[in-house]
Structure 1
Amino acid sequence: MFVSRRLAGRISLVSLAVLAACSTPPPPPPPTPPPVVVPTVRPVPPDNAAEGMAIPTKDEEGKYLTANRGVTSNTALWHVRMALNVAALNCDKYGATARNQYNQILSVHGPILKTANSAVERNYKVAYGNAAIGSRERLNTVVYNFFALPPVIKHFCPVAVTVGAKLLSTPSSQLLLMAPQWLAELEKPFQEFYAAYEDYLRRLAEWQSRFGATVTVIVSPTPLPPPPKPPGEAPPPGWQPSYSSALEATAPPPGDTAGAAPSSSATVQPLPGATGMSVPSTATVQPLPPSASDAPVGPPAPSSPTPDDGAPRLEVQPIPPQGD
C-alpha cells in the first residue's frame, strides 16, 4: 500500500512537470538583422585634380576653347616651341629627353624659329599698335600656364617627347607646314583631361542627387572665360596691292579699245527698225553719277606698323642641360 502511494506521488510529479513544460511559451525569435549597407563611393576628380576646378567652354565643333585655336602657321610653330619649353622644364622626373630635345631644336631650327617669332611680333604690332607687347605677353602667359597644368603633366610629357622627335627629324623648310598638326597633338592630352573632368562633374551631380551629401559641392563651376585669340597673319613689310580696284584689274591695256566702254563724247545711233520715236544722231551720252557699287573692292592697303620704340624682344634662350 505504501509503495503504491509513493509510485502514485512520483507519477503526479512527472505529470505536473510535463504540464508545466507544455504551458511555457517558446522563446522569441532573434531580431531581424539590419539591411546590409552598400558603401557608395563619392566620385573624385581625375588625375588628382582639384575639386570645383573651372574648365573651358566648348566651341561649335565640341572642342574646348584654348589659346591655340585659329592660329596662323607662324603662331602655331611658336606655340609648339612654348609647349616643348614647358616640357623641358617640367618633365625631368620622366628623364632628360625633353630637355635635351629642346636644346637641340634651338640649335638645329634656330633661324626658322626666329623668323616665326618676327612674324608673330609683326602680327601683334599691326593688330594692337603700341599695346602689342603687352597683348602678346598676356597670351604667352596663358599658353605657358595651359601646357603646365599639373594634373596633365604625366600625360603631356610623353607626347611632348614624341613631337620633339618629329620636329628634330623634319627639315626647317617644313616646320610651318607641320606646326598646326603638332600643336593639335600637344593639346590632345588637355582636351582629354577636360572631357574626363566634365564627366566627373556629371557623375558627382548624379551621386549627390541619389545619396545626398552633408557637404556643399559645387557641381557646375563657372567655366573659364574664353582665352585671348592671337591675331591673324599681317602682310609683310612694304607690301602693296598690285591694283587699286577690281575695275582697274579688269580694264583692258592702254591703247586697246576693243571692249572698252563708250566715252562721254560717243554718239547714240538710232535703233534699226525703231518706229514712233526719233533719236537725233548727234545726241551725246551723259555720264552717270557715281554709285556705291563703284567703290574700290580690291585688297585693302596694309596698316602701317608701329615704329620701333626700343621695347625688349622675346628671345629664345636654351635651357642648361641637366643629368638624368
Structure 2
Amino acid sequence: MNLRVLLVTVGVAALAACQTPPPPPPPPVVVPQVTPRAPTPPFGASNLTIIPPLGVDGLRRTINRDLGPLETVWHVRAALNVAALSCTGPQYMRLVSDYNAFLANNEKYLRNANNAIISKYRREEGNGYRQVHDRHQTNLYNFWSFSPLRRPFCDQAVQISQRAIVTPEAEMETFGAQALMELEKPFVDFYLAYEGYEKALDAWRVQYAPAQAIDAVDETINTTGLTGGLVDPNAPATVPLMDRQLPASNAAPVVTSPAPVPSATQGTPTETSVPPTGE
C-alpha cells in the first residue's frame, strides 16, 4: 500500500515538473510626464519688462504720477499725439483731425501750460533744466508708445479725442484728470496681467524646472515705469515728430526719422505745422 502511494506521488511530481510555468506579470504601465510650456507674458510683451510698483495711494508709480493740473493736460496731449501718429485703421481715422482741432481750440491754454512746465523745470533743476525736461519728454512719448498695448491704447485714445475737441477751456483741468486715468487703464490692466504671469512662471519653475527656480535671475530692465524702448540717459533726447500739428489726411503719417524735443525757447505745438499731404 505504501509503495502504491509512493508511486502515485512520484508520478504526480513528474507530471508537475513537465508543465510550462506561468508567464511573469506584465510590467507596470509608465505614463510619460508631459511638461507644459512655460507661461508667456501677456499681450506678447517681453519677459524683460518691469512693471512700476504701487505707491501708498494704490496707484502705479508711472511717469504720470505727481503731476499738477497743467502737466496732466500736457500728458494727455502727448498721448493723443502718439495715438494720431501710431493708430492706424478705419476706426482710428479721426484721430489726426481731432488732435489738430484740439491744438487749435486750446492754443493759448497749451502755450501757457508749456511755459509753466518749462518754468518749473528751470526753477527746480537750475542750469541743467533743459536736458532734464527733454529726457522727461522722451520717456513720456515712450510710455504711450508701448507697442504691445497699441490696440487697447488706441481704442481709449479715439474715445478721449472726441471729448477733447468739445471740452471748453474752463473745464480743461477736469477733462485732463479724467482723460489721463482712462488713457492709463490699458496699462494698469497690463500690469495686473503681468504680475499674474510672473506668479504663474514662478509656480511652473518650482514644479517643472526646480533648477531654474533656484538659479533664476532677475530678467528685468528698469525702463522708468513702462516704456516702448530703452533710453540711454547720456544720449541727446529725441522723440518722433511730435509737438506740432499733423498732416490733415485720413491716415496717420509715417515718421521716417526722429526729431529733437522742442527746447525751452520754442513755443506751443501749434507754432510749427506740417502742411497737408500733397502740398
**Quick one: which of 116, 135, 153 aligns to 2:150?**
153
Per the alignment, residue 29 of structure 2 pairs with 33
Are 1:80 and 2:33 counterparts? no
Aligned CA distance change for structure 1 residues 219 and 128 (closer, same or farther; 3 Å)? closer
**Quick one: which of 23, 42, 54 aligns to 2:50?**
54
Distance in 2 between residues matched to 1:161 and 1:319, nearest whole Å: 22
Q: Which amino acid aligns with 1:86?
A: V
Q: Which amino acid aligns with 2:195?
A: E
Aligned CA distance change for structure 1 residues 160 and 63 (closer, same or farther; 3 Å)? same
Larger Rg: 1
Aligned CA distance change for structure 1 residues 224 and 63 (closer, same or farther; 3 Å)? farther
**Quick one: which of 13, 19, 41 aligns to 1:45?**
41
Per the alignment, residue 168 of structure 1 pairs with 165
Distance in 2 between residues matched to 1:150 and 1:37, nearest whole Å: 37
Per the alignment, residue 179 of structure 2 pairs with 182
TM superposition shift of 1:39:
4.0
Q: Which amino acid aligns with 2:137?
A: N
Q: Identify which of structures 1 and 2 has the higher relative contact order when contacts are C-alpha pairs closer than 8 Å and 6+ apart.
A: 2
Q: Equivalent residues in 2 for 1:162-311 (5 A)?
A: 162-212=159-209, 217-218=216-217, 221=220, 224=223
**Quick one: which of 124, 127, 135 aligns to 2:121?**
124
- Residues 262-294 of structure 1 deviation map (CA, whole Å, 9 limit, x = unaligned): xxxxxxxxxxxxxxxxxxxxxxxxxxxxxxxxx
Per the alignment, residue 313 of structure 1 pairs with 266
Contact kept in structure 1, 2:79 and 2:141, CA below 8 Å: yes
Q: Which amino acid aligns with 1:181?
A: Q
Aligned CA distance change for structure 1 residues 43 and 321 (closer, same or farther; 3 Å)? farther
Secondary structure at the aligned position of 2:139 is classed as helix
Per the alignment, residue 240 of structure 2 pairs with none
Q: Which amino acid aligns with 2:31?
A: P
- Residues 106-158 of structure 1 deviation map (CA, whole Å, 9 limit, x = unaligned): 22222222221122222222222332222211111111111111111111111
TM superposition shift of 1:192:
1.7
Aligned CA distance change for structure 1 residues 104 and 21 (closer, same or farther; 3 Å)? farther
Contact kept in structure 2, 1:57 and 1:224, CA below 8 Å: no
In angstroms, what is the RMSD of aligned CA positions? 3.1
Distance in 2 between residues matched to 1:103 and 1:150, nearest whole Å: 23
- Residues 160-200 of structure 1 deviation map (CA, whole Å, 9 limit, x = unaligned): 11111111121122112321221111112112212211221
TM-score by length of 1: 0.61
Contact kept in structure 2, 1:99 and 1:321, CA below 8 Å: no
Aligned CA distance change for structure 1 residues 151 and 195 (closer, same or farther; 3 Å)? same
TM superposition shift of 1:225:
5.3
- Residues 216-275 of structure 1 deviation map (CA, whole Å, 9 limit, x = unaligned): 644563655579xxxxxxxxxxxxxxxxxxxxxxxxxxxxxxxxxxxxxxxxxxxxxxxx
Distance in 1 between residues matched to 2:138 and 2:63, nearest whole Å: 10
Q: Equivalent residues in 2 for 1:16-31 (5 A)?
A: 23-31=19-27
Q: Which amino acid aligns with 1:112?
A: Y
- The 10-residue stretch of structure 1 (183-192 or 42-51) with the greater mean CA deviation from structure 2: 183-192
Secondary structure at the aligned position of 1:92 is classed as coil
Aligned positions, number = 225
TM-score by length of 2: 0.70
Per the alignment, residue 96 of structure 1 pairs with 93
Aligned CA distance change for structure 1 residues 123 and 172 (closer, same or farther; 3 Å)? same
- Residues 62-110 of structure 1 deviation map (CA, whole Å, 9 limit, x = unaligned): 3221121111111111111001111111111453232222122122222
Contact kept in structure 1, 2:47 and 2:220, CA below 8 Å: no
Mind listing any 5+ residue stretches in structure 2 that lack a counterpart? 1-14, 227-262
TM superposition shift of 1:208:
0.3
